[in-house]
Structure 1
């Protein structure tokens, strides 16, 4: 069984693992770019097409409907045709969606393009973390999976740089069209990747699984891993969606879906999608200045994701979550207080809002951001791992859709202070969820994590 594996017996070619993890993680750049570029583009799209508040929310959130559909389809596809092939399909969708968005003659075509980009996001966000987790040894798995989140934050930062650069010309079409470049690079590099050895073994292609393992681990390590995978496959878990509610997978489903939903309802994507509008509420009214402030937040997100990569396999998942979510809670309530007592801050409100959002995003980046992807790719049994991650992605997408599709309306109806205090309340709920529901997975083999999670359920 998994617990019998001695990690010191598994010698790995770390250079190979970093390379394949980085390439597959490039899907995160595409995800981040298409998620982040709407913040700057929306300022000019709303004028080009005379959009109402409700239509602005729909343009932002339609990508999430596509992402949920992509997760449903991608989870089954990844289990059926493999992780590598599914990443290739996702890359193709990114290329088509980016071109269509640039050429959109009307708002309906733009929304169709955004939905297609969402479909691509669903494919890659389901598959890339699973692929990385299935190649990684337990002692460095968290760090390697964090590469996906780092790539995502890099994509958001690139989107904000492009948005700031093109803001003077209001060139929102070019903002979308530039997404073709990383999509084509992603497609080319994915062609150089091997298939996941765990997936190959699960479909009976043992010799190919051995061949992949020999490229990055020694004979003893490969044998131990394959024996452990074979033992895990003997568990009675089929590949139907309904099996996610079986005793073997139910606990993992609660952890993964619950955590990804909480990740969204704590308000992270209101900042990513509506950053310039939030800074405008705080008195930073110039479009370019608001976009620049959003860029500062995006760079902070990227930098502190590196902190998570360094610490997640040293300190563990839960200590980082306690520190990060605690910091997010404080920053949201301070921001709510500042908005509620604007007369006390006057000209400094913009600086206070920037400081709060930078602190919030820093805390998110070293905790909930990367650890969500780590947990959901670790806790499920091999037979339903891709579908399990798909279910978590659907939960994330659904809650993200609700938050992003209601943010501007909530600001109008409840006010700035109440809106951010609501997200702060959900941070408190998250702390309790981490304390009582989330397992510590640091340094443990994948098969032992899914077994223990099933026992806990």
Structure 2
């Protein structure tokens, strides 16, 4: 009987991880459904380019505010309750978007919607990381990106299905459906053992650990979590801004900024506009082709899911960024080749967008959640994720707010030259500073920062350092 329970252990851990990661469906749907809705909203409300960018960007501004408070909320009421609250309020604000009768009302609804998403992108990686055994933690964190890409695809397909009738209100309102489903799934899940210990609820922490890892030495794990919590002195923000965790804070903030400033959401938010600029026309081309791009991205993230706990984090991240650099070079060439798109040139433009999106999803898209969940010890983890995702969202707001203007003033070649240069800088940064956390216990990762950005010869758990020093 004992062996049977042991074989079932991974299923329990995976269930917790997948349930939390499914929040990514909500995030992904919101990213793409606005692209379809924006084919119709400007006509209804007589919007110019600046108005289109503002409505698109309002949700990101809300996300920044949500990311700032997300870490505090996760520590205050718990990881699970925070995510359930996000799902419920998201459903309410999605319906508010659908019922908007004016531009100000739509902007406020988008702002509040973004607030809920901002909290989710901070809390979910923490929830998943703290609910997962070390040997599959990376895979479960990548599963969040899988769910996000699935949500993006659903958003494009829903937009296409409703495009003939111009039903942009339905496009936005249907976002409430996955939110309600996710809330119902998560309500029956426990919170994390680390949060229970943070609040002094030892017996609940013990029950949670037994559910997730019944074969583990629960008392030893609780003792390690408790020791780590007691070792962390002072306020979370003060501790993040002084050695040894200042190095970790700078790393995640800069990484978060690079993830978005390299341009992925310019393609997701404005893909119909971009495809129009490359010579595509009609609802099928403008909404189904972006969905096909995301199907390829979904395949890429599954490959990343399989490899992240085998090859490690660094090879996947560097490989993905390298693909983005090549894609930018191809897109620059396409736009330089001529203004009259058609035939092979248009096809090459589509391939460039495809390669860019696949590269992002394979590397940055998958690994952002891994590094957000792994880079800090228990009490700093939600605040660290908040700092990383706030930086990520600030860059997202910059891209969402200026991409169409860049496309009009710099042209396609100039725009993707800027993104290409930023991708090269990101590659250099990751190569020099990203730690390899494959197989490390969460409580051991702090030794990397304590040792000046290098793994010590032997970690606290006895694991040998990586030969790269990272």
CA contact (8 A) 1:40 1:164 kept: yes
- Once residues 113 and 297 of structure 1 are traced to their aligned partners in structure 2, the CA distance between those partners, rounded to angstroms, is 29
Shift of 1:343: 6.1
Q: Larger relative CO (CA 8 A, sep 6+): 1 or 2?
A: 1
1:296 maps onto 2:292 in alignment = yes
Q: Partners in 2 of 1:338 and 1:32 — Cα distance? A: 28
Aligned partners of 2:130, 2:364: CA distance in 1, in Å? 21
Output one character per residue of 1:167-203: Cα deviation in whole Å (capped at 9) or x when no partner.
1111100001111111111111111110100111122
Name the residue aligned to 2:185.
189
Please, which moves more after superposition, 185-194 or 337-346?
A: 337-346
Q: Any conservation in 2 of the 1:237–1:383 contact (CA below 8 Å)?
A: no
TM-score by length of 1: 0.95
Distance 1:325 1:220, change over 3 A: closer
The aligned runs of 1:40-189 (5 Å cut-off) are 40-189=36-185
Superposition pairs for residues 250-265 of structure 1, below 5 Å? Answer: 250-265=246-261
Q: What residue number does 2:262 align with?
A: 266
Give the corresponding residue for 1:408.
Answer: 404
Q: Which deviates more from structure 2 when the two are superposed, residues 31-40 or residues 221-230?
A: 221-230
Contact 1:91/1:187 (8 A) holds in 2: yes
Conservation of the 8 A alpha-carbon contact between 1:238 and 1:384? no
Q: Give the whole-Å Cα distance in 1 for the aligned partners of 2:180 and 2:342.
A: 47
Aligned to 1:379: 375
**CA positional deviation for 1:227:** 2.3
Measured in 1, the distance between the counterparts of 2:215 and 2:155 equals: 44
Aligned-pair CA distance for 1:234: 2.5
Give yes or no for the alignment of 1:365 onto 2:361: yes
* Distance in 1 (alpha carbons) for counterparts of 2:332 and 2:450: 40
Q: Deviations over 1:280-335 (max 9, x none)?
A: 00000223321111111121222211111101000001111121111110111111
- Cα displacement (A) at 1:351: 0.9
Cα contact 1:249–1:381 (8 A) shared by 2 = no
What secondary structure sits across from 1:366 in the alignment?
Answer: helix
Over residues 402-444 of structure 1, what are the superposed CA-to-partner deviations in whole Å (9 max), with x where a residue is unaligned? 0110001111111110101110111111111111111011110
Shift of 1:241: 2.7
Q: Is the 8 A contact 1:248 1:454 kept in 2?
A: yes
Which ranges of structure 2 fall in alignment gaps of 5 or more residues?
A: 1-5, 454-470
> Structure 1, residues 77-123: CA drift from partner, whole Å, max 9, x if none?
10111101111111122111111011000111111111111111111
1:345 Cα offset (Å): 6.4
8 Å contact from structure 1 (residues 239, 384) kept in 2:
no
- Report the counterpart of residue 461 of structure 2 in structure 1: none
Partner of 1:43: helix, strand, or coil? coil
1:378–1:450 contact (8 Å) kept in structure 2: no
The aligned residue for residue 13 of structure 1 is 9
- Of the three residues 420, 426, 430, the one matched with 1:424 is 420
Give the match for residue 468 of structure 2.
none
Q: Deviations 1:1-23 (Å, cap 9, x if unpaired)?
A: xxxxxxxxx99811111111111
**8 A Cα contact 2:244 2:452, kept in partner:** no
Distance 1:65 1:128, change over 3 A: same
Q: Deviations over 1:330-385 (max 9, x none)?
A: 11111111101126964322211111111111111111101011011101121121
Deviations 1:134-165 (A, max 9, x none): 11121111001111111111110100110111
CA distance in structure 2 between the partners assigned to 1:297 and 1:242 by the alignment:
43
| Unmatched runs of 5 consecutive residues or more in structure 1 | 1-9
Q: CA RMSD in A?
A: 1.6
Q: CA separation in 2, counterparts of 1:18 and 1:357?
A: 33
Tell me what 2:438 maps to: 442
Contact 1:11-1:217 at 8 Å conserved across structures: no
User: Which residue of 197, 201, 207 maps to 2:203?
Assistant: 207
Residue 220 of structure 1, CA deviation: 4.2
Equivalent of residue 306 in structure 2, options 290, 304, 310? 310
- Do 2:36 and 2:159's aligned partners in 1 also have CA atoms closer than 8 Å? yes
Check whether the contact 2:14–2:132 (CA below 8 A) recurs between aligned residues: no
Helix, strand or coil at the partner of 2:39: helix
Post-superposition CA distance 1:212-242 (Å, at most 9, x none): 1111223643223222212211323334433
Q: How many residues align?
A: 448
Distance in 2 (alpha carbons) for counterparts of 1:421 and 1:127:
34
Q: Which moved more, 1:17-26 or 1:395-404?
A: 17-26
Query: Counterparts of 1:271-286 in structure 2 under 5 Å?
Result: 271-286=267-282
